Amino acid sequence: MSFTNYFKFIGVFKAYEMCLFNTRCKQNFDSDLFFSFERFKSDFINSVIDLCLILGIPHISKAEILEIKENTSLNKMKAIAKEGGNKYYPELGRNSHKLFRKGNVGDWKQYFIDSDLKLINRVIQLNPPLYVKIGYFLMFTLRRKFGL
């Protein structure tokens, strides 16, 4: 399935779900508990230090942080997936590496046409069109409620 078709039939509803989840979390949890992809990309060491403090790990060495960075990089995870080691989508076998993005901040914009970007902006503002709310309810809420 092309990205455009995926977005129109599934992705927009997942985007709405993620926005609802993030909004609820931000209402109920301290903002210090939230980390962004951009922050990890621009300041990995301090992001890991802050995360460790939240987890109750008072000290972590720079060498340990660099080891974490190496072992959690997208390139490393793609390589593991190419070898068939991806446990999240085992049915894809060695093709599961295609699920990983490039890891560039802002790269997502190249996949959307203008009308999709406008829709995403409405979803982010929690003001999606009615069909998105109804589709989300049917695809996610009811399905989960009945265990389908």
CB 105 within 8 A of CB 41: yes
User: Using one digit for the tens of pLDDT, what is the confidence trace for 46-95?
Assistant: 999 999 999 999 899 999 999 999 998 888 888 887 777 667 666 666 67
136 has pLDDT over 70: yes
Contact 74, 52 (CB under 8 A): no
Q: What angle do CA 23, 25, 31 make, to 5 degrees?
A: 100
Amino acid at 130: L
How many angstroms separate the CA atoms of 103 and 74, rounded?
A: 7
pLDDT tens sequence across 18-30: 999 989 998 998 8
Q: Which of 71, 69, 93 is nearest to 81 (CA)?
A: 93
